[in-house]
Amino acid sequence: MSGSVRMFNYRFIDRKLSDWELQALCWAIVHNTPFDPLPKTRQLIKPIPEKRFKLGAVPQESIIKLGKKEYIDSFFESGMLQLGSYAYYNKFDHSEIGDSKEGIVTLLAKTPSGVIGGTYGSGYNQHIFCASLGNPDRKTMERFGYDSGFVVNDPIGFSNAIAESIGAVSHTFSRCLYRPHKAVLGFPRKTINPHIISHQSAEIVNAAKHFIKPERYSHQKEFRFLWEHSSDISGAEVFDCSSAIQYCSPLSLNDLS
């Protein structure tokens, strides 16, 4: 991973923690309070283990991209497709689309030397394409202000085609998981020095950290595609993704409930 990393409220506990203590540490990081190894029950937050996120797994449900008709038609006619970024969604003024905390998540990791934790901002070097799982309903489309869409029939082919079109250095996709607090537990495969803060600090958790969202967005049933680049990205960009058209088909509005 390259690109910038932001870090807040960093903690390192130089011993193993029980499950109870780990949840207490997570609570302390989220609420920016001192770590209490003997907390009250209400002062616990259970982070989701990164293995719960099925990175690169093709879902059984349909993958639907909703949008305005003019942009959906443009994709099928000329291959032009807009890809967003965390910077773009951080500033987007729409209750369903914008999220000022996109890219920021509480991460904890069990390491041989102890437990590392903190609130991290990363992924600012990624292009993002947001879709949803299952058949959409008219109410959902109205919330977004959309009137059209398409189905991604082959997410692997779609993701690979766009990666080649935009020159991504890596890419993945997954369904998003929703929780009251965005907190993920990692198990780093490589040694992380807890006393040195660098871009590797956010690598204590794998790409799973980019697929957790606040519970208030759970109705969206988001399926997210990510393409990583070597430097940060600002705003949204439109690319010629003609090679990805073959993996998609127009959404029939007759199927809406």
The pLDDT, as a whole number, for residue 161 is 98
Is residue 50 domain-resident?
A: yes
Residue 23, H or E segment: helix 19-31
Euclidean distance between CA atoms 126 and 230, whole angstroms:
9
Interatomic CA distance for residues 177 and 208, integer angstroms: 10
- Identify the pLDDT of residue 79: 97
CA gap 213, 106 in Å, rounded: 12
Does 1 reside within a domain?
no
Domain presence at residue 38: yes
Residues with Cβ within 8 Å of 94's Cβ and at least 6 positions away in sequence, in order, are none
On the question of pLDDT at 224 being above 90, the answer is yes
Q: Would 23 be classed as within a structural domain?
A: yes
Which residues pair with residue 82 across a beta bridge?
238
Average pLDDT, the chain: 89
Q: Is residue 22 part of a domain?
A: yes
Confidence category of residue 256, pLDDT binned at 50, 70, 90: low
Whole-number pLDDT of residue 98: 54
Once rounded to an integer, what is the mean pLDDT over residues 195-223?
87
Listed residue (189, 20, 29) closest to 120, CA to CA:
29
Q: Which of 15-29, 31-45, 69-83 has the lowest mean pLDDT?
A: 31-45
Output the pLDDT for position 72. 95
Range of the domain at 121: 6-255
Q: How many CA atoms lie within 13 A of 12 on its CB side?
A: 13
More confident residue, 211 or 9: 211
The domain tally of the chain equals 1
In a domain, 191, yes or no: yes
Most confident of the ranges 17-21, 187-191, 217-221: 17-21
Render pLDDT for 88-101 as a digit per residue (tens, 0 to 9).
888 766 556 656 77
For residues 95 and 38, which has the higher predicted lDDT (pLDDT)?
A: 38
